[in-house]
Amino acid sequence: MGNIINSDLKDRIIISLAQSSFTYKLIRKVGSYYFRKSDSSFLFWLNFYTRQLEIAYQQKKPVVWASIFTPSELLYALDLIPLYPEMISASVASLNLADYFIETAESNFYSPDLCSFYRVASGMSLKNCLPRPDMVISTSLLCDGSVKFFQNVSRYYGCDYYLIDPPYERNQGSRKYLVNELKKLVQWVSKRTNEQFSSIKLRKALELANQSTLLIKKINQIREKVPAPLSGWNALAYQLYMYFASLGSRDGLNFYELLAREVKNNAIQDKGVVERECIRILWLHQLRPYYPNIIWQIMLDYKAVIAFEEINQVFWLEYDLTQPFSGLADKILANPGAGSLSRRISSIENLIKKYKIDGVIHFNQRGCRQSCGGASMIKDYLKAKGIPMFILDGDGIDKRNYSEGQTRTRLEAFFEILSQNR
Amino acid sequence: MVVAGIDIGAITTKVVLMNEQKIESYVVIKSRVGINQNARECFEQVLQNSGYQRKEVTSIVATGYGRINVPFAHKCITEITCHAKGAYWLNPAVRTIIDIGGQDSKVISISESGQVIDFMMNDKCAAGTGRFLEVMAQALEVALEDLGDLSLQSKKKVHISSMCTVFAESEVISLIADGYRKEDIIRGLHEAITNRIYSMVVRLPITDVIALTGGVAKNRGIILSFKKKIKKKLYLPPEPQIVGAIGAALLAHDLAK
């Protein structure tokens, strides 16, 4: 009985905290003090992220739950408040709070084999710890688990779901089909918000996205410099969040202006992320473990740095504002992770050359079947080219699938191989 | 130059003392909870056996899962690198090493000069490790050391389908209840382990000569099972348990040079 009361009380506290504007204000206040010595881009992200949650709870505009590969440009143009459950799960894990929501999901029959990013988000939904969506939009791009998850979300909250299902090949026919799908999406949203679609707003969002993209390209170019002026470990965390969630918004542009300045300053001062940098790593796959772990520390011990990560590439062209849907469709189709594996391999090879990479780490997030499936083939290909690659099996969120000792041995052994090669 | 290699495994702790790359003495003891204390005891014992003083040992390298908990070691190096170094030193023809330890199993691919090219390790479960065999020996009520010889007396193949240690234990108990002979069950267990590790071996180039190291390499049943499966020249070190510690000692020597 005592346990039930305690767990009820804990639930009530967590729900109240999650739903209160005060919590997000407090996080911003405390965060900006606690992290006062951190980069201003990080503080900007903290502000952006908590504000987005706060506004979503206020429901002044329709809230859309979207998958990370849904173009945020379009969501901003449609005047929606986008929430990305996968990335919220990552931030929950970084606060070491994922277990509670994983337990909730699993005790409600969500399989432990389901991607942990979705298990946490499902647990948060079940505990009423996320703002309610008015609609759900996702793509089947790269992530096969997302379709079922978002479909389930729409059923759970009783709201409608739109799936952008891009074709496998990148060709004229696919583009035409996808343009049509995106136009249908716009009508679908307008019908639900009773708002007329504004092509001016879309052009504005794409213009902002173009400006941000230009800055990302500039940042990526500066990152070619040795020593690495930007931490790939961070680039896989809050910077990744902005990459998915901010393009098409004024905040996105402001963020990338700050980040570009920081990276440029580091490069001018020859300030590397790691002192006396010895090993440059290319990190494959879009994620890393977000709970407290030893990977970064091991990298520091070996003077290794993530010089670049596959996910932060700019692979799409500048939007032609006269043909906005065509540009958006092409962005989805151009993703190197989609379609044939040879596309991904060719982009990886390019990154290896550009960023003077010594070794490649592919993080096999358990839930990402589409990515893990190709890892061995990428490794075989790179091995034939004399580039060492290490497949790190793990889980981005569920730390029950993480073993410190085994991770240490595998990673250290890989760095020992790289050190002997130098 | 006197150097030492300490290999702290999940089940055993091994220390090798070398002078000018010649083994002076080695000790293998059961690992206990206090890793540091364990390592110290083992190290003291090897000094006693060899007659050297502590101050004469110029360099110490620790390896194995407990390597980071040996404060008197000068450097920690993974068991992957140490096994490669040790096996290559013992037999320079070796290009692949299969190490089956208490907690994990690994396959290491090395170059003509003895450098690690690539490696594979088991996932985090105990399948295909010494611990798996330990649990099965308990279920079968036979001594761990007797598993190898018993399996050689097998007359009939018994297939073990579970590789999860817990499920395999239940399967073994059911097979005993169904009247299967222990010898046949043990052979089935050895083949299950071999198949499990073979799936890692084939991910790397399978070359002559393959060294089998680790405590499990003392099991004659496992050796036979691997011989049948791999169909390559197997190299069995005189003391397969200390290959990692030899490698650590050799690396300690390189470090002190």
The ipTM is: 0.90
Nearest CA in chain B to A387: B117
Name every chain A residue with its beta carbon within 8 A of the beta carbon of B77. Answer: 416
- Share of residues in chain B with pLDDT > 70 (%): 100
Q: What is the mean pLDDT of residues B89-107?
A: 93
Identify how many contiguous H helices and E strands chain B contains and give both numbers.
8, 10
Q: What is the mean pLDDT of residues A148-163?
A: 96
pLDDT of residue A3: 52
Q: Which of A16, A4, A11 is nearest to A126 (CA)?
A: A11
Per-residue pLDDT reduced to its tens digit, A128-153: 999 999 999 999 998 888 999 999 99
Is the distance from CB of A143 to CB of A369 less than 8 angstroms? no
| Structure token pair of residue A392 | 């790190």
pLDDT of residue A5: 54
pLDDT of residue A328: 97
Q: What is the mean pLDDT of residues A17-32?
A: 85
Poorest-pLDDT segment among A96-110, A373-387, B195-209, B211-225 = B195-209
List, in order, residues 6 or more apart from A193 with CB less than 8 Å away.
A62, A78, A79, A80, A134
Name every chain B residue with its beta carbon within 8 A of the beta carbon of A416. Answer: 77-78, 80-81, 116
Question: Which of A416, A418, A419, A422 to probe the B interface (max B CBs under 10 A)?
Answer: A416
- Share of residues in chain A with pLDDT > 90 (%): 82
A2 pLDDT tier (thresholds 50, 70, 90): very low
A89 pLDDT tier (thresholds 50, 70, 90): very high
A366 pLDDT tier (thresholds 50, 70, 90): confident
Mean pLDDT of chain A: 93
Per-residue pLDDT reduced to its tens digit, A309-362: 999 999 999 999 999 999 999 999 999 999 999 999 999 999 999 999 999 999
Report CB contact under 8 Å: B124, A403.
yes
Report CB contact under 8 Å: A417, B77.
no
CB-based burial label for B246 (10 Å; 0-12, 13-18, 19+): buried
Name every chain B residue with its beta carbon within 8 A of the beta carbon of A383. Answer: 118
How near does any CA of chain A get to the CA of B44, in Å?
Answer: 26
Would the pLDDT of A59 be above 70? yes
List, in order, residues 6 or more apart from B121 with CB less than 8 Å away.
A406, A409, A410, B104, B105, B106, B107, B200
pLDDT of residue B124: 66
Q: What is the mean pLDDT of residues B187-197?
A: 91
CA A11, distance to chain mean position in Å, is 28
CB nearest A413 (choices: B81, B123, B124): B81
User: For residues A407 and B7, what is the distance between their CA atoms, to the nearest angstrom?
Assistant: 18
Report CB contact under 8 Å: B104, A376.
no
Does residue B105 belong to the interface with chain A, where contact is any CB pair within 8 Å?
no
Nearest CA in chain B to A417: B116
For chain B positions 197-226, those within 8 Å of chain A (CB to CB) are 203
Per-residue pLDDT reduced to its tens digit, B20-65: 999 999 999 988 878 888 899 999 999 999 999 999 999 999 999 8
Q: Which helix (H) or strand (E) holds A306?
A: strand A304-309
Report CB contact under 8 Å: A406, B121.
yes
Q: Return the SS3 of B231.
A: coil
Per-residue pLDDT reduced to its tens digit, B193-230: 898 889 888 888 888 899 999 989 999 999 999 999 98
pLDDT of residue A1: 43
pLDDT of residue A172: 95
Mean pLDDT of chain B: 92
Identify the bridge partners of residue A306 per DSSP, sorted by sequence position.
A281
Q: How far, in Å, are A421, B62, B86 from residue B115 at the CA level?
A: 9, 19, 11
pLDDT of residue B10: 84
User: For residues B149 and B221, what is the distance between their CA atoms, to the nearest angstrom?
Assistant: 7
List, in order, residues 6 or more apart from B70 with CB less than 8 Å away.
B6, B8, B35, B36, B39, B60, B62, B76
